[in-house]
């Protein structure tokens, strides 16, 4: 595991964008695993800037997002499709048909989860998976549990995740209670993983994820077992980590 320290959110975003850019340059038809949440917004802005400067070309890139709320349409402002479209896709030359996100409007969870696994397989897997970190250690929407769920599945969101994500919705009741998410096994199959973490409120969970025991109670702790993980975190998030 490589750990890159950044002074602040801005530098974290730049460093993460540099890593993603280097892959897009070296492998123009790469498969990017993408994430939502507030953490990757700066990284996407940096990628857009590099594209606008003429340094990046997404025309052959494919993407697969980690997760999507169940029951939200694509044009719902809180859907992860909407997030991806507005924060990245519409600003660069990625082809929309090359982008993949679980379909939150498919009511049949089993069918949708299998379909999504097949999509990832048909892309020959994810080259680089970008991840944020939930306050309870969740990655994607893999919530703390008694066992690691391996493949894409439908998850009941925990009270703490609903609480954390309600800031994006008008009222707490509007936060969907379920989501489709890549499983831990799906994430671990990515050839490279890039975990980005910012802010003091993540310091404790980052420490437990990287230095604590590997346990499904802290889903991100599984990353300790992946052989190609890069962590880019700012000083506030690293405040519990020894130098």
Does 51 bind ligand GLP (CB under 6 A)? Our answer is: no
Nearer to ligand GLP, 12 or 56 (CB): 12
Q: Which of 102, 134, 183, 219 binds ligand GLP (CB under 6 A)?
A: 134
Q: How far apart are CA 81 and CA 146, in angstroms?
A: 30
Q: Which of 102, 104, 137, 140 binds ligand GLP (CB under 6 A)?
A: 140
Task: Name 128's bridge partners.
Answer: 32, 192
Nearest alpha carbon to residue 229 among 95, 33, 7: 33
Q: Which CA distances in Å does 38 have to 13, 42, 131?
A: 11, 8, 11
Verify whether residue 91 is a known catalytic residue.
Answer: no
Nearer to ligand GLP, 132 or 183 (CB): 132
Verify whether residue 143 is a known catalytic residue.
Answer: yes
Task: Please count the residues of this chain forming the interface with ligand GLP, following the rule CB under 6 A.
Answer: 14
Q: Which token pair is 1?
A: 């595991």
What burial class does residue 90 get, using C-beta atoms within 10 Å of its C-beta: 0-12 exposed, 13-18 middle, 19+ buried?
exposed
Nearer to ligand GLP, 57 or 71 (CB): 71
Nearer to ligand GLP, 60 or 148 (CB): 148
Nearest alpha carbon to residue 137 among 169, 163, 160: 160
Selecting among 46, 65, 67, 127, the annotated active-site residue is 67
Length of the chain: 243
Q: Which of 63, 165, 186, 221 binds ligand GLP (CB under 6 A)?
A: 165
Q: Which of 36, 87, 100, 142 binds ligand GLP (CB under 6 A)?
A: 36
Selecting among 46, 112, 117, 143, the annotated active-site residue is 143
Verify whether residue 67 is a known catalytic residue.
Answer: yes
Does 161 bind ligand GLP (CB under 6 A)? Our answer is: yes
Backbone conformation region of residue 125, classed left if phi is above 0, alpha if psi is from -120 to 50, else beta: left
Provide the minimum distance between the beta carbon of 165 and ligand GLP in the complex, in angstroms, as a whole number: 6
Task: Name 179's bridge partners.
Answer: 69, 155
Nearer to ligand GLP, 60 or 136 (CB): 136
Does 221 bind ligand GLP (CB under 6 A)? Our answer is: no
Q: How far apart are CA 207 and CA 210, in angstroms?
A: 5
Provide the minimum distance between the beta carbon of 119 and ligand GLP in the complex, in angstroms, as a whole number: 18
User: Scanning the structure block, which residue is given the tokens 């994006």?
Assistant: 168
Three-state secondary structure of 22-60: HHHHHCCCCEEEECCCCCCHHHHHHHHHHHHCCCCCCCC
Which residues are near ligand GLP by CB under 6 A? 35-39, 66-67, 132-134, 140-141, 161, 165
User: Could you give the residue numbers annotated as active site?
Assistant: 67, 136, 138, 143
């Amino acid at each position: 595991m490589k750990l890159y320290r950044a002074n602040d959110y801005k530098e974290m975003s730049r460093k993460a964008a540099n890593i993603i850019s280097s892959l897009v340059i070296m492998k123009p038809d790469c498969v990017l695993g993408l994430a939502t949440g507030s953490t990757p917004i700066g990284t996407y802005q940096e990628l857009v800037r590099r594209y606008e400067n003429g340094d990046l070309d997404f025309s052959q890139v494919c993407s697969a997002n980690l997760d999507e709320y169940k029951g939200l349409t694509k044009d719902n402002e809180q859907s992860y499709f909407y997030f991806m479209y507005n924060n990245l896709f519409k600003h660069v030359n990625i082809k929309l048909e090359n982008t993949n996100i679980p379909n939150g409007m498919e009511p049949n969870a089993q069918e949708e989860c299998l379909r999504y696994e097949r999509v990832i397989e048909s892309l020959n897997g994810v080259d680089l998976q970008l991840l944020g970190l939930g306050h309870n250690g969740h990655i994607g929407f893999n919530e703390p549990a008694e066992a690691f769920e391996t493949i894409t599945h439908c998850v009941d969101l925990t009270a703490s995740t609903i609480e954390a994500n309600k800031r994006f919705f008008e009222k707490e009741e509007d936060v969907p209670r379920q989501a489709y998410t890549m499983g831990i096994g799906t994430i671990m199959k990515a050839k490279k993983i890039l975990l980005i973490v910012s802010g003091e409120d993540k310091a404790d969970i980052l420490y437990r994820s990287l230095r604590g025991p590997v346990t499904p109670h802290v889903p991100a702790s599984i990353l300790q077992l992946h052989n190609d993980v890069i962590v880019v975190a700012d000083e506030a998030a690293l405040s519990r980590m020894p130098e």
